[in-house]
Structure 1
Amino acid sequence: MKRISRTTLFTSTQLALCLIANLPFASYASDATPTAAIPATATNDASADSSKKVKNLDAVKVTGAAITVDKIAPTQGSMMAIQPQSIIGEQYLRENVAPTGDYTDAISIAPSISTVAPNGPGLMEAQSVTMRGFQDGEYNVTFDGIPWGDSNDFTHHSTSYFTTQDTGSIVVDRGPGTASTLGNATFGGTIAVGSRTPSDTAGIEPYLSFGSFGTWVEGAQLDTGAIQQTGGTTALINLENVRSDGYLTYAGQRRQNVFAKIVQPIGDNTTLTFVGMYNNIHQNVPLGATRAQIEAYGPNYGLNNDPYSQDYYCYNIDNIDTYMSYVGLHSAFDGWTIDNKAYTYSYNHFGWNGEDPNGETPNGTIYSPLDVPAQALRNTYTSYGDIFRLSKELGPGELRTGFWYDHQRNLRTLYEVDANLNYAYNAPTQLAATDRDMRDTLTTFQPYLEYNWNITDRLSLTGGVKDADFKRDINALVNQKTGEPLVYSKDYSKVLPSLALHWQLSDSWTAYAQLAKGFLAPNLNTFYTSAPQDNTVKPQQTINKQLGTTWSDGRLTLSADGYYINFNNKIESRTVGAITTFYNAGGAVYKGLEGEATYLLADGFSVYANGSLNRAIDNATNQWLPNAPSKTAALGMIYNSGPLYASLIDKFVGHRYGDTGLQQPFGGYATTNFAASYTFAEGFGALKSVKIGVQVDNVFDNKSVYYLSGYTAQDNTPLYFTIPARSYELTFSAKL
């Protein structure tokens, strides 16, 4: 496989080092970099003080070192929550997630979450990420509070933006939130990713990782520290290069990422934040293997090296460039709080694939019966938007208002080509070779108003309303599926009320209840018809009812909840070859119980467990919905004392079906992951510290089939992915 040169990355690193060297470093107050604060609430800034009476827990001293349960816990609930959530802090991200991993690898530990990463952690886009049985596109993903994703179906490319090294915390919010929770699919929940916070201490931290599947990670994070001459400016930049052959055959990945963040205080009450990132990825992408291929070539069969095969790795390629940036303003004065983020992000994807990889479609093009038929695609979109929030202490509570505006424009093309002739059109004309040539836009506007009423010092009620408005426009020279031109637009709108009660029963115990409506406009594929004005597909709507409680006393953090979600006009999908189709399943009911806990034992040891019982049933057929596990569970031990950290955690995902009609059943499976690190704080001269860490995924080497990825184009033969084999990544880092 041709490798991408690292010259650009190393040149950027040298420039960044020169920049840092010429900045006036702040004095070194200590050798330790402060850990980023774990957010106390779920998905948005406006709800940050939903219960102002709750106090942070004091540290519990264990074997002479200050260790708190909220730092140790892999996941934990919040004492300020108004709906079920799991907070994943920076320690878990740094210690337990492989350096190549992405946010989907991090959240896989949480209750009611199941993920499919068949090429190894972060070495391929996650093929499935479910929350309570909701699929990607049915819940929201945000970065620093900004909703992002593809406008055509609201899904997300897990490897195309931020890396684990860019991330400071993640909150898995299993609920629609309040009126101030913004996004296109919040009714299924929100995965809220937060960026790392620049350190007040200046320094450089280079890191190097290597491991299974020929994986290498090289990178460095540079912190300016607090620059007093400019009013306390702090900034960081992280540069990273990843290369790996991947677990699946011929499924290599090359990735370069640059992330920068500047925080500028203005006076005592105002802060400006500037964030920017760029990501480039080159990936050979398999679509799955048949059971016959898995039996013949092994569980890791993906692509091959035969240039006259549609599975040839050089014909199955993704080249993707992305960027994201925002300018944030936060100001608090005289009982008022203003928060605004103006942002943009872009995704530019050129891709090629065999006509029917690992399928039965024979070779042959208009040029030769031996040539390989293939497809060439382009998908590029750019979003511009703004999130404005305003709150004011008013009467016995706080009044909150604001809006989210987003406009995304999208270009999508797909052509039939001859892979052996430098992707020449496989038709007499370009138009005849065109499967789609579409330009579409999605404009979203969501204003909201809510009030948090402090009924007593320990009881608060948050009620509000949001107007969710979507407008789709399409201008297609060749519309997908019909092959005909189409110019059409459609508005969808829904008023969404919400009500949430938060009760602080004691200093260590809180409870909540929630009732809220959710809404999701039909995705772009409902326009893939000659007469979209006659389409009977209706918007998806939900009514969410949830109850829960959280306990946290310094040694124990424990949370539990129950949920009931009535989902109307549920849209399902089925994939055949490279084509995915959608339809209304009428309705569905999601219900279940969830819990998670961490308990500090003694001498640095703690025990962690979580679990969920989930049910997702189609109302019309009374059958289980696809890719909706019946249960999840996790159990593990953690040791954290002084310079040594170690953990052994097992995650179980229960029975599920890969397709509708109870087809393609999969039994439950478990994977066990081990992580350990040791930090040497002295004896290395100019180095402040040196750290050695290791992550071992799938310790017991479970390689069973666990996901239906689709069907072959010609004979509808099922394609599968297996659990990646046991793998390790060893990391060395140093603080200068």
Structure 2
Amino acid sequence: MNTLAHRLCRILTVSVFVLISFAGHAQQPSGTLTGTAVDPKGGVLPNAAISIRNEATGATRYITTDAQGHFSVAGLPVAKYTVEASATGFATTIRHGIQLTADQPQDVSLSLNVGNVSQQVTVQADDAHSIASRLAPIDALLSQTSPHSEIGATYIRNYTAPTSDFGELTQMVPGAFTTNANGVGLGQSSTSFRGFPDGNYDIDFDGIPFYDTNTPSHHSWAFFPAQWIGGVDFDRSPGTASTVGPTPFGGSIHLLSQDFLPNRNIRGGFSYGSFNTVLFDGAFNSGDFGGVNKNSNLFVDVHHMSSDGYQTFNLQTRNAGSLKYQYKLSDKTVLTGYSGVVWLDSNSPNLSSTRQQLLTNGNNYLLQNTDPTQANYYRFNTYHVPTDFEYVGVNHQFAHNWLLSFKPYTYNYDNSEFYAKQLKTGAINPANCAPVSATATEGGVKVPTSISPCAVDKYNSYRKYGQTSAITQTSKLGTFRTGFWYEWARTNRHQTPSNPLTHVDDAQPNFSEKYFTNSYQPYAEFEFHPFSKLTLIPGVKFAYYTMNFTQLADNGGKIGSINPVTKQPFTSVTNTADYHSWLPALSASYRLKPNLSIYGQGAEGSVVPPTSVFDVAGGSVAVPPKPQKSTTYQVGTVYKINRLAFDADYYHIRFQNGYSSSTDNNPSSATFGESINYIAPSSISQGFEAEGNLYITHGLSVFLNGSRGQATYVGTLTVSCTAGATGCTSATPTLIQAAPSGLWVAGTPTDTEAQGVTYQDKGWNLGYFNKRVGSQWMDNGAYHDQLRVDPFSVSNIYLNYTIHAGSRFERFDQTKIRLSINNLTDSHNQTSITAGGKLINQNISTNGTSYVDPFNAATTSSTGYTGGYNLADNPTLLPGRSVMLSITFGLSPKR
């Protein structure tokens, strides 16, 4: 590590001196153009983004409107200009052919119509003419009606590692944290906020929801690497009625594709860092082109990444490419097309190391070796995951302020996985089958001639087709929005025991299933202003989800091959289910002052049940569960002055947890022998969040945020059996308690804190960020609050220098040196624990002696499982320190 860091520092020093020699100031042009941006009611729009492009030369100036919605650019050459204005929540307005003369200023008025929901998730950091807001790594908007965190391109390009996935971009959001045990972007990361794990919130890309079909979770390593993302709008709430998706339960993470650039630019980059990580990336921005009005624009990115990973033999390879094209048919009609393809391969095993194995073999041990005679040979574990994601968007402005947005899409996930089965017995290299004596050699290495099936052939594939559509109409009464999300999906999944040498599968699978799903979500909401400072948004959404689920007979891994009621063999069973929920929402925002707002929200969210509810003997499910629902109440404030941007919120959420099931043991019942599902006890999650950015001087800022909260059960689930039925021992129905009231919901940290110091000036971007996550409780699968995860922290440093358009060497626009150091202190604290069983390890005494858990900060007792630790547990650890240097060469035409 020291050698790598020394080499990178030498390269960085030389490269920075070379780039500094290019830095300079652009020559000032001549001319003047003024204007005002207003909303449909004539109200001014402060901080609207304005671009002014010379139609003859393509030279473009950028500016934002002031607090009165006014802008002015002096010294422009006499020519015709195209002026484009955009603002959060509004559709873009474009004026062509504005003739500027030398004798008098030209003034233009730009009226922006209210946009649809996909346009409303535009990231605008400069929300109130505040320097602190413009320089904030993560910011809030004065117009928001629920807690939002806006993550812009500056943060993504300068304060994250080049290998980051979309989950890791949200690391510094209040109450959120993301972990990846193999290194930043080197495997599947996991994001949680307010204690909501993946699967309890929505993620969408350019307004299109994406998620897995067996449970509404997300594959961070297989979709949308950071190179394709231009911004993130993190809404920590169920949103308004127009927020579509399968799980607006805890919130929504809106990913935004890269913006088009008005001028052509080509970039080619190379990154190298720890764990032998290599990244090649090339991007092309066409700039505006095509015809007199230059009505087309194109963005293309391709990249290749390979890495050995922090964990042993957890190799990762990713090849990916994306294309985004826009064509403006007229000032009122715009077509947008997008396609992204990812080709992923890795050697990640399906299981994780035990505490004993990590203590014996090192913090980065991952159950694999280079011995082909062993069941844990790393080549026996393979992932091959190609994905694609495409959409076409149509936006058209009709008369009388009617706006239509229509976006059909399709995407595919195709995961072929093969992995060796291993048991967590406490041994160093456990396996559930032993190889026979080797009698043959390959390349001088003895290999077994045969191994009984001790691997799994796994396949998970789905293809989706869908559309999002929205109609918006603005009048003097307010803005009406209505729309519809529909999606159809086909899924094929199976897991079959297999031979790791021959890849010959067993005759019967562990499970095999095929199913079709349909999602429907119509909505309507109305945004109105009873008076100028107050905004109210009532609305309602209807979430309807259907499933046709066929499970084939298996070896007993899921449903078996015998019907438990008829006791006869069967080949398959089909279940159909539909889930529906009415989800109302009411949001309000009041502007106390131009730079101070307060807001409140009450909204409901839901999440559809996973397919695992049908994994019961015979696949017989008499009563499918109802959708889980959450009810959220939040209040907050946003305040911005020149040197300070601050926001805070308080939330109170009552949400239903996972599912429990009971078998109907009443022989006279029509559902005898079948599974009946119940939603587990409710929980209350409540807390306080705050963040702020303080501008000090000369580009130097201090960023702070924090959260404090709790999530505990408020009731118990009781399931009764029918008196006299099999299993009921008395006339009084037996009550089964599933979750005692008052216990902590697993995976919910008591607090989080983030600290950052940034310097942004004249092409330099330097940043130090630290994220601390408070203590958490984990369940052991049967009992709550059995394992405690102590607080952990991660510190990162970033150093960047970029040549921007407008400098003396603007032809090298976007040329950049980028250094990132993740986990600066090389911490190896654990971030979560999966229970490995009862406290029955033979390596420690259980006679009241206390022991220090090497992966936790606190001393814990081994007298019992609660508060103790088990050598058979599976802790997830922070990956070791990593250093990466990136050099990007940018080239733009001379302007």
Same-fold call, TM > 0.5?
yes
For structure 2, the residue ranges without an aligned partner over 5 or more in a row are 1-54, 65-83, 91-113, 437-447, 562-571, 662-676, 717-739, 842-869
Q: Residues 205 and 376 of structure 1: is their aligned pair in 2 closer, same or farther, counting only changes over 3 Å?
A: same
Q: Residues 628 and 462 of structure 1: is their aligned pair in 2 closer, same or farther, counting only changes over 3 Å?
A: same
Q: Structure 2 counterpart of 1:454, which letter?
A: H
Provide, for residues 278-298 of structure 1, a one-character-per-residue CA deviation record: whole Å limited to 9, x for no partner: 000001114321111111111
Question: Which of 512, 522, 525 is residue 609 of structure 2 equivalent to?
Answer: 522
Specify the SS of the correspondent of 1:525: helix
Question: Which of 702, 716, 720 is residue 607 of structure 1 equivalent to?
Answer: 702
For structure 1, the residue ranges without an aligned partner over 5 or more in a row are 1-24, 61-67, 574-581
Q: Does 2:352 align with 1:288?
A: yes
Q: Residues 688 and 150 of structure 1: is their aligned pair in 2 closer, same or farther, counting only changes over 3 Å?
A: closer
Q: Does 2:797 align with 1:674?
A: yes
Partner Cα separation in structure 2 for residue 59 and residue 136 of structure 1: 36
Q: Does 2:816 align with 1:691?
A: yes
Partner Cα separation in structure 2 for residue 712 and residue 352 of structure 1: 26
CA contact 1:176–1:516 (8 Å) conserved in 2:
yes
CA contact 1:45–1:145 (8 Å) conserved in 2:
no
Provide, for residues 16-73 of structure 1, a one-character-per-residue CA deviation record: whole Å limited to 9, x for no partner: xxxxxxxxx9955269999x9998469x963589999x9964656xxxxxxx433321
Q: Residues 689 and 174 of structure 1: is their aligned pair in 2 closer, same or farther, counting only changes over 3 Å?
A: closer
Partner of 2:116: 46
TM-fit CA distance, 1:617 = 1.1
Specify the SS of the correspondent of 1:295: helix
Partner Cα separation in structure 2 for residue 572 and residue 226 of structure 1: 57
Partner of 1:341: 407
CA contact 2:327–2:335 (8 Å) conserved in 1:
yes
Partner Cα separation in structure 1 for residue 278 and residue 243 of structure 2: 39
TM-fit CA distance, 1:570 = 3.7
Q: Structure 2 counterpart of 1:107, which letter?
A: T
Specify the SS of the correspondent of 2:481: strand
Q: Residues 277 and 665 of structure 1: is their aligned pair in 2 closer, same or farther, counting only changes over 3 Å?
A: same
Partner of 1:16: none
Specify the SS of the correspondent of 2:168: helix
Partner of 1:312: 377
Show the 5 A alignment for 1:547-696.
547-571=635-659, 584-619=679-714, 620=716, 621=740, 622-659=742-779, 661-680=784-803, 687-688=812-813, 690-696=815-821
Q: Residues 154 and 671 of structure 1: is their aligned pair in 2 closer, same or farther, counting only changes over 3 Å?
A: same
Show the 5 A alignment for 1:135-146.
135-146=197-208
Partner Cα separation in structure 1 for residue 300 and residue 119 of structure 2: 30
Q: Structure 2 counterpart of 1:90, which letter?
A: A
Q: Residues 261 and 653 of structure 1: is their aligned pair in 2 closer, same or farther, counting only changes over 3 Å?
A: same
TM-fit CA distance, 1:372 = 6.4
Specify the SS of the correspondent of 2:528: strand
Question: Which of 373, 392, 416 is residue 350 of structure 1 equivalent to?
Answer: 416
Higher Cα Rg: structure 1 or 2? 2
CA contact 2:265–2:813 (8 Å) conserved in 1:
no
Partner of 1:456: 531
Partner Cα separation in structure 1 for residue 63 and residue 598 of structure 2: 34
Q: Residues 424 and 167 of structure 1: is their aligned pair in 2 closer, same or farther, counting only changes over 3 Å?
A: same
Q: Residues 734 and 397 of structure 1: is their aligned pair in 2 closer, same or farther, counting only changes over 3 Å?
A: same
Q: Structure 2 counterpart of 1:136, which letter?
A: D
Q: Residues 572 and 279 of structure 1: is their aligned pair in 2 closer, same or farther, counting only changes over 3 Å?
A: farther
Show the 5 A alignment for 1:65-144.
68-126=131-189, 128-144=190-206
Provide, for residues 378-422 of structure 1, a one-character-per-residue CA deviation record: whole Å limited to 9, x for no partner: 1000110010100112442111111100011100011001112x2
Q: How many residues align?
A: 687
Question: Which of 39, 59, 72 is residue 29 of structure 1 equivalent to?
Answer: 59
Partner Cα separation in structure 2 for residue 55 and residue 156 of structure 1: 27
Partner of 2:16: none
Partner Cα separation in structure 2 for residue 121 and residue 583 of structure 1: 38
Partner Cα separation in structure 2 for residue 30 and residue 492 of structure 1: 52
Show the 5 A alignment for 1:238-277.
238-277=301-340
Q: Structure 2 counterpart of 1:665, which letter?
A: R
Partner of 2:864: none
TM-fit CA distance, 1:269 = 1.9
Partner Cα separation in structure 1 for residue 602 and residue 613 of structure 2: 30
Question: Which of 721, 724, 728 is residue 876 of structure 2 equivalent to?
Answer: 721
Which fold has the larger relative contact order, with Cα–Cα distance below 8 Å and residues 6 or more apart in sequence? 1
Specify the SS of the correspondent of 2:141: coil
CA contact 1:328–1:342 (8 Å) conserved in 2:
yes
State which drifts further: 717-726 or 210-219.
Answer: 717-726
CA contact 2:577–2:624 (8 Å) conserved in 1:
no
CA contact 1:538–1:569 (8 Å) conserved in 2:
no
CA contact 1:272–1:329 (8 Å) conserved in 2:
yes
CA contact 2:326–2:337 (8 Å) conserved in 1:
yes
CA contact 2:794–2:824 (8 Å) conserved in 1:
yes
Q: Does 2:580 align with 1:493?
A: yes
Partner of 2:553: 478
CA contact 2:125–2:133 (8 Å) conserved in 1:
no
- Identity over the aligned pairs, expressed in percent? 28
Partner Cα separation in structure 1 for residue 748 and residue 559 of structure 2: 32
Partner of 1:179: 241
TM-fit CA distance, 1:571 = 4.1
Q: Structure 2 counterpart of 1:273, which letter?
A: T
Partner of 1:578: none
Provide, for residues 532-575 of structure 1, a one-character-per-residue CA deviation record: whole Å limited to 9, x for no partner: 432463321111111111112342211100111111354499xx
RMSD: 3.0
CA contact 2:121–2:254 (8 Å) conserved in 1:
no
Q: Residues 322 and 55 of structure 1: is their aligned pair in 2 closer, same or farther, counting only changes over 3 Å?
A: closer
Partner Cα separation in structure 2 for residue 663 and residue 45 of structure 1: 49
Partner Cα separation in structure 1 for residue 773 and residue 271 of structure 2: 29
Partner Cα separation in structure 1 for residue 434 and residue 56 of structure 2: 66
Show the 5 A alignment for 1:3-22.
none
CA contact 1:50–1:80 (8 Å) conserved in 2:
no
TM-fit CA distance, 1:489 = 0.5
Provide, for residues 181-203 of structure 1, a one-character-per-residue CA deviation record: whole Å limited to 9, x for no partner: 10010121001100001211112
Specify the SS of the correspondent of 2:139: coil
TM-fit CA distance, 1:483 = 2.7
Partner Cα separation in structure 2 for residue 559 and residue 195 of structure 1: 26
Specify the SS of the correspondent of 2:345: strand
Specify the SS of the correspondent of 2:134: helix
Partner Cα separation in structure 2 for residue 412 and residue 523 of structure 1: 14
Partner Cα separation in structure 2 for residue 685 and residue 446 of structure 1: 48
Q: Does 2:415 align with 1:415?
A: no
Q: Residues 244 and 114 of structure 1: is their aligned pair in 2 closer, same or farther, counting only changes over 3 Å?
A: same
Partner Cα separation in structure 2 for residue 603 and residue 684 of structure 1: 23
